[in-house]
Structures are given as C-alpha cells and as structure tokens.
Amino acid sequence: MTSSWQITLPALLAWLSAIIAISVVWLIWPRRSIPGVNALSFLLLAVAIWSLFSGAEAAVIPLNAKILFSKCEYLGSTTAAPFFLLFALYYTRQTRWITPRNQALLWTIPFLSILLVWTNEWHHLIWTGFSPVPTSQGVVYAYHHGVAFFILVGYVYICNAIATWLLLRSYFNTAQIYRRQIQIIVIASLIPWIGSVFYALDLIPVPGLDVTPMFFAASSALLAWGIVNYHLFDLVPVARDLLIESLREGILVLDLRNRILDMNPSARRLLGLAATPAGTDIAQYRGRWPDLVATLLEQDVPGREVRLTQEADQYVELHAMAITGSKGQSVGRLFTLEDITERKRIEAKMEVQSRELERLVVTDDLTGLNNRRHANEVMRREFQRSERSRRPFAISLFDLDNLKRINDTYGHACGDAVLRAIAAEMKANFRASDLMARMGGDEFLVLFFDTEVDKAWHSLERLRLRLSALDMVEFGGETGHVTISGGVTGWLEGDTPDAALRRVDRLLYLAKTRGRNRIFKK
C-alpha cells in the first residue's frame, strides 16, 4: 500500500491550496447574509475539492487510481466557474439574471461534463488516452483530451469572462472607497485561470501536471489578506448605475450639444416619459416644458425652482453640475430634478395664512381698518422720518357723536353698522397711502403723509359732510344723521407721537364742547 503513494511537491501544494480555500470559507461564512458570500463560499469549497483530489492524483502512482482521483477532481473543477459567475452577479447586484431558467442553463454543461467524465471509458469524449512520461521523480502520465473537454474549457472561460467583466464594470462605476475591494477580488479571480490556460494548452514543463489548484492557493491567500486588511464583505459596494436608478431625485444627462444622453426612472416619471429619448435634442420639448427647457439651455444653472408645465401647477427644483472626461475636458452636464410641487403648495398656503395672520395682527375686526397698535407703530416711524426730512405730516383724531345713545336706543347692532359705514366712507374719501385706524370704541385716527394741516383739515371736513348726509334709518335707527367731532394737527419740530396725540385729543374735546359735528385744527 505504501508503494502506491509518493508524496511530491505538486501534491503538497495542491493540499495547501485546499487548506487555504477551506480557511477562507471559515473567514467569510459569518458574513453569508451579504449578497454573493454564499456563492463565493461554494466556489471555494469547489476549489477545495478540486485541490484535494488533484493532490491525491499527483501523489498516487497506479494509473487507474490517478484516473479515479481525476474524475473526483471534476466535481470541483466543473462547478467552480458557475459559482464564480453567480458570485459576480450577486456582488454587482445583477440578480435579475438569476432566474430558475437561467440557473438550469448555467448548470447544464457542468452536469453533463461530470456525467461524461464518469462514463469516459464508453465514449472517450473527455480523455482519449494516457501516455507515461518518465521524470526525475518517477513516471507521470500525460492526459490526452477529447472534444467534450475543450467544450467544457470554453464554457469555463465564458463564465469567467462574464464574471470578470461584471466586476470590472462595477469597479469603474463604484465609489472610490470600494474600488480596492473589487480590485482585490478581480485579481484573485484572474489568478487561477492563468493556470488553467497553461494546463489546457500543455504549457506546463512537467507533462500532465495540473497547476490550476496551485494558482488557486495564491488566489485564496489574496482573498484572505483582503478580508483581514480591507474588510472585504464588511463594506458592501453599491454599483453607481444601480444607485442612480434607485434615486428618488430625477437624473437627466445632456451632452455638449444639449442632446439627452440618459435619465433615471424618477426623471422619466416626473417628466411623463415611458422611455429615455436618448439622442433627442432637449429643445424639441420646449412646447411641453417651456420653463424647464429654457433653464436647461442656459450655460450657468445654479439651484433654481422651475415650473414644469403651464397647464398644471407642478414645480421642480433644478441643480446642475458639469461632467468632465478623463483629461478634465467638459463632456456634458448632469441635472438633478426634485419634485417640489407639494412643497410649493404648502408654501403658498402658508404664505396666505401668514398674510391673513399679519392682517389680523394689524387690523380691527369690526371695521377692517388698522388697529391702534399698528397705528402707534407707524406714527412712531413717521415722526422719526419727519424729524430727519422735515417733510409735513398731519394727524387727525375724531369720534362718532352720541354712540352710547345710539347703542342704548337702537341696540349695539345699529352702533356697529354706523361704525362700519364710517370706515367705508373713510376708505372712499381718503388716499390709499393715508393710514386709517380705529383706536377703540368710536374713536378713529387718520395719518396724512406728506400733507399740511390745512389740506388734512379739508379732507376730514369733506368726510364730516359726507357722513352728516347719512340717515340713521339706513342703520336700523329712526331719526337723525351720522355726525362726527374731531381735530387735526401737524408735526412740529422736536415733536413726539404722545405730544401730538395729546394736542389733537384736546382739539377733539374742544369740538365736543362747542356743540359737536365740527372739526378743529391747530
């Protein structure tokens, strides 16, 4: 039994490869919830089986035993490539291709190859023969391959090429932080296939020696080093195109000639497009999105709110950034489009509410005129302005005669109606630029900006005459007319609002004591 085995360096290297592959599986298995780790684990297990029996095939001496162990090798060597492709699909988030039908197709050739290996004596499609080759370490055998073997090799290379292309594309479309991870995985995946090329083309100095498992030893060691030093499978890369496709914001890309290069699903939904009109000049949509297209055609587009369509109040917030090539030259522009229609609706509603609140803060509820607090604030500012500019400024104060008698005789509804009528006549007879306010009860204030006292007195006198023509019957009373008493004064140098109000209040009192229904000035 001992004479049937010869421990050689190739056998030791193959077994070392198996040990390293199993060790890497042990390292990554706790991370199996990460997409792709399961497929990579099975890939490494396939490598371990391949390496284990490759070592046994190199160590055993009888030809029939070598052939048996070679058949066992195919359990790993035929399944490694499909597992590698599955790993690449999971790792680069291309899982839409992993369907039951595609998986059945993926495993068809490996399954048939294993079946042909174990029935080779009947058809010789895998091995056509074996030739003894004397070496310094004894006799080895060169395996002569049939057509099925080369079909299998072609299939393996196709799987590896697709997987490598997926990883390389992910490398260029992934954030910088993840690139070192993918770079390590790509290098690790390429190493074994270099060995398989040497074996398939009979470029090995030792006839019949399969060095592919030995290359897998280096590949597995590189993966182990990457797991320890670069946290492979801890930081999970996200492909850039997948990230853009899943963004809530719309992404629109134009080239230097303003032709549409790309847009993500969010942009298509926002713009109402079923598909990306690649190659179309954005100017062709001017009639559909006039404001948006006009903004897109500008060379310098900062953040801006744009109305999307004229028919509906739909708005987008637009931001732009230049796209540069590998040599720093401008190759296009990328725009982000965020639907802010709801935000604009809320802002408009809040603006209306704010204006209404502001109106309520400065407005008297009964008459719709300004209230006392607002009038005092404006008067304070105007006195300061007049002090600086020496421009004229008149103040008038008047009240309704006999409001208490009206309320007691005809009711408060009648009194309120008269106060509202006074406010309406004030708005009709005074300038829109004058400030009209109800100071409380039946007392009213008018601030005449840039107006001399005499002119202000004439304005208030016209109001008195207009009101005296109103019959109380119109407001629910029985007899009499609406009369007012008041005074008018002007700003004096060094004057203050309180001093002016005391002055005009004395004029109002004087009008009351002189028989009412008159306006005094000073």
Same domain? 253 vs 234:
no
Strands (E), 329-465: 330-339, 393-400, 435-440, 443-449
Under 8 Å between Cβ of 406 and 477? yes
Same domain? 146 vs 228:
yes
Cα(241)–Cα(94) distance, integer angstroms: 11
Q: What pLDDT was estimated at residue 397?
A: 94
Same domain? 197 vs 286:
no
Same domain? 412 vs 286:
no
How many structural domains does the chain have? 3
Same domain? 225 vs 251:
no
Q: Per the domain annotation, does 28 fall within a domain?
A: yes
The residue assigned the tokens 């303003």 is 258
The residue assigned the tokens 């990328």 is 334
Q: Per the domain annotation, does 491 fall within a domain?
A: yes
Amino acid at position 391, single letter: R
Q: What is the CATH number of the domain that holds 441?
A: 3.30.70.270
Same domain? 284 vs 157:
no
Cα(142)–Cα(152) distance, integer angstroms: 19
The parts of the chain modelled with pLDDT lower than 70 are 1-3, 134-139, 173-181, 192-193, 196-214, 216-217, 220, 223-224, 227-246, 299-302, 310-312, 325-327, 356, 359
Q: Per the domain annotation, does 352 fall within a domain?
A: no
Burial class from Cβ neighbours inside 10 Å (0-12, 13-18, 19+) for residue 80 reads buried
Q: What pLDDT was estimated at residue 213?
A: 63
User: Which two three-digit tokens encode residue 325?
Assistant: 């090539």
Strands (E), 274-314: 304-307
DSSP 289: S
Same domain? 214 vs 258:
no
Q: What pLDDT was estimated at residue 1?
A: 39
Same domain? 14 vs 128:
yes
Q: What is the CATH number of the domain that holds 168?
A: 1.20.1070.10
Cα(464)–Cα(426) distance, integer angstroms: 10
Question: Is the pTM here over 0.75, yes or no?
Answer: no
Q: Per the domain annotation, does 357 fall within a domain?
A: no
Strands (E), 341-427: 393-400
> Which of 309, 343, 377 is the endpoint of a domain?
343
Q: Per the domain annotation, does 351 fall within a domain?
A: no
Same domain? 95 vs 207:
yes
Q: Per the domain annotation, does 356 fall within a domain?
A: no
pLDDT tens for 19-43 read 888 888 888 788 777 777 888 888 8
| Residues whose CB falls within 8 Å of the CB of residue 251, separated by 6 or more in sequence, listed in order | 244, 262, 263, 264, 266, 267, 334, 335, 336, 337
Same domain? 452 vs 394:
yes
Q: Per the domain annotation, does 37 fall within a domain?
A: yes
Q: What is the CATH number of the domain that holds 333?
A: 3.30.450.20
Cα(387)–Cα(493) distance, integer angstroms: 7
The domain of 296 spans 247-343
> Which of 211, 240, 269 is the endpoint of a domain?
240
Helix/strand/coil for 182: helix
Same domain? 191 vs 258:
no
> Which of 184, 214, 240 is the endpoint of a domain?
240
User: Which two three-digit tokens encode residue 75?
Assistant: 């359990």
User: Which two three-digit tokens encode residue 46?
Assistant: 């396939």
Same domain? 317 vs 416:
no
Half-sphere exposure of 180 (CA within 13 A, CB side): 9
Under 8 Å between Cβ of 419 and 438? yes
